[in-house]
A and B are shown apart, each in its own frame.
Chain A
Amino acid sequence: MAGSPPEGRPAGRLRRGLPALGVFVLFLAGWEGIVRLLHIQFYLLPAPSEIVANLLGHASFLLGAAWYTAQEAFIGFALGCALGILVAVVSVRWRAVADTLLPYSIAANSIPIIAFAPLAIVWFGVEQGSKIAIVAMMAFFPTMVSTIRGLLSPDPASLELMRSYGATPRQIFLKLRAPAALPFVFTAFKVAASISMIGAVVGEFFGGVEHSLGVYIISQASLFHTREAWAAIILACAFGIAFYLVIVGVERLVMPWHVTLRR
């Protein structure tokens, strides 16, 4: 189409984002309008304006609590992903390890890890340690399974090409398997980033320090201080989304060649 900016350019991306933004604004306006028109009690559903006012009123406490919780999410994410990649690399190098571990890993992946939260507190303490452990476990499995799939993704011809060069296993790993695995690894990172903030907040529901988002949400909600709880929830969402977007940004930097990023 003549004159329209190509997709992917900032202007094109903005234009594509407009409908979503419009829906968001309409949703907020509708929410605000219904709460006001129907005189809904604030403890049932506070209006967005009230939530925002509350958020701004408690900004310094809330940001501090969110940062505390986000630290658990980041560190747990980093540990879980690093461990997942490590185990994947070892499994692919020694196939016997993969054959032994993979069935258990896939089975373990379906365990609701959050159920271990009370035990994690027993093992790692009521402070950040237990939440980091939960987030790390949640991030570990998708990262490991995806990385293994990625490392095994090169087709036979790509491997034969390396063989025809007399490449060493190390060269095959560094120049073929690792770059081929990157898209899989980043897909896993995006999944793990999204669940790590959730894991940290929910982990705190089972016990934590007062200046953390999870404990704050639980305690405020139990007092019917719903505006406070909503403000904290929105901040948790914002941090989760920001984390996800950071991963997307890194992905674009690291692999501009990938099919999903092509213009």
Chain B
Amino acid sequence: MSMPPRAMIAVDHVSQWFGDGAGRTTALQDVTMVIAPGEFVSLIGPSGCGKSTLLRIIGDLIAPTEGRVRVNGKSPREARLARDYGIVFQSPVLYDWRTVLRNVELPLEVMGFPRQEWAERAERMLALVGLEQFRAHYPWQLSGGMQQRVSIARALAFSPPILLMDEPFGALDELTRERMNQELLTIWAQTHNTVVFVTHSIAEAVFLSNRVVVLSPRPGRIEKIVEVALPHPRGSATRQDPRFFELVTRVRAALRVE
């Protein structure tokens, strides 16, 4: 193994460009990083820096133009087929014709889990995100924040080791977002997933993560990696902590670097 032994996700000299010739845009340039099992890593950067692209490469939704990714000792494709990823998109992507419970059951159905496990697993996940009493509701009967919680429950339903989150709370108002951040950490404390979290909110990135990876404007390169040594469990007191402000300032400074 050429990779460090304790790497859950290893991104090795990955570049990505779209188009060719004069119309070619480079989204990512020579990105290398290693994410350990159980780590919570945020990707942050200005719009168009390729942070979502990097997430999508890790999740095998697109293939990198250059370089290589290893996930759990496998290629991203193998990892995807081995059900290693739960993905949470910016929009909840719930299926309108399914109730909340049946939406959470969707991956279990597709992946061929035994039928008798569906409801039990899905209800456990709904309890985890605090929506057990909404099991029979349809998605449109829920608020945006609740819909996104359903989508998190769905991503966790098949117990994937890795959670990929692409600006999951970007569409929520500030208060709801802070509450969702808190809940996500509570869930993470129970599930111990490896989390890759794309955001453009500095406070969110610092509050949630073990490490914040700052990407430069297009083409995206790793500008700086900020270690967040704030103690767990984190809560509203964390947001008042001078170290929290200091870390936010460091990430902000890294984002402004030319």
What residues make up the interface of A, taking CB atoms closer than 8 Å to B? 157-158, 160-167, 171, 175-176, 179-180, 182, 255, 257-259, 262
Chain B residues with CB below 8 A from A166, complex form? 80-81, 83, 110-111
Chain A residues with CB below 8 A from B182, complex form? none
Task: Name 11 A/B residue pairs within 8 A (Cβ), A-sorted.
Answer: A161-B87, A164-B80, A165-B106, A166-B81, A166-B83, A171-B110, A175-B110, A257-B97, A257-B98, A259-B96, A259-B140
The interface size bin for chain B is 20 to 34
Whether A179 lies near B89 (C-beta < 8 A) is no
Does B169 reach chain A (CB closer than 8 Å)? no
Whether B110 lies near A179 (C-beta < 8 A) is no
How far, in angstroms, from A162 to B96 measured CA to CA in the complex? Answer: 15
Chain B residues with CB below 8 A from A259, complex form? 96, 140
Chain A residues with CB below 8 A from B111, complex form? 165-166
Chain B residues with CB below 8 A from A176, complex form? 95
Whether B107 lies near A165 (C-beta < 8 A) is yes
* Contact among A160, A179, A255 for B95, CB-based, below 8 A: A179
Does B238 reach chain A (CB closer than 8 Å)? no
Whether B93 lies near A157 (C-beta < 8 A) is yes
How far, in angstroms, from A85 to B98 measured CA to CA in the complex? Answer: 23
B141: nearest residue on chain A (CB-CB)? Answer: A262
Chain A residues with CB below 8 A from B83, complex form? 165-166
Does B91 reach chain A (CB closer than 8 Å)? yes
A262: nearest residue on chain B (CB-CB)? Answer: B140
Chain B residues with CB below 8 A from A162, complex form? 110
Looking at chain A's contact residues, the main secondary structure is helix
How far, in angstroms, from A160 to B164 measured CA to CA in the complex? Answer: 13
How far, in angstroms, from A165 to B85 measured CA to CA in the complex? Answer: 8
Whether A161 lies near B59 (C-beta < 8 A) is no
A166: nearest residue on chain B (CB-CB)? Answer: B81
* Contact among A163, A179, A262 for B97, CB-based, below 8 A: A179
A161: nearest residue on chain B (CB-CB)? Answer: B93
Chain A residues with CB below 8 A from B138, complex form? 257
Which of B97, B107, B138 neighbours the largest number of chain A CB atoms within 10 Å of its CB?
Answer: B97
Known: A175-B109, A175-B110, A259-B140. A163 touches B61 (CB 8 A): yes
What 7 pairs between A and B have smallest CB-CB spacing?
A: A165-B110, A179-B97, A166-B81, A157-B93, A164-B87, A167-B110, A257-B97
Could you mark each residue 67-97 of chain B with 1 if its beta carbon is under 8 Å from any beta carbon of chain A, else 0? 0000000000000110101010101010111
B91: nearest residue on chain A (CB-CB)? Answer: A157
How far, in angstroms, from A160 to B61 measured CA to CA in the complex? Answer: 7
How far, in angstroms, from A160 to B87 measured CA to CA in the complex? Answer: 9
B82: nearest residue on chain A (CB-CB)? Answer: A166
How far, in angstroms, from A259 to B140 measured CA to CA in the complex? Answer: 9
How far, in angstroms, from A247 to B154 measured CA to CA in the complex? Answer: 34
How far, in angstroms, from A180 to B96 measured CA to CA in the complex? Answer: 8
Whether A182 lies near B97 (C-beta < 8 A) is yes
* Contact among B89, B96, B97 for A161, CB-based, below 8 A: B89
* Contact among B61, B81, B95, B110 for A158, CB-based, below 8 A: B95
B87: nearest residue on chain A (CB-CB)? Answer: A164
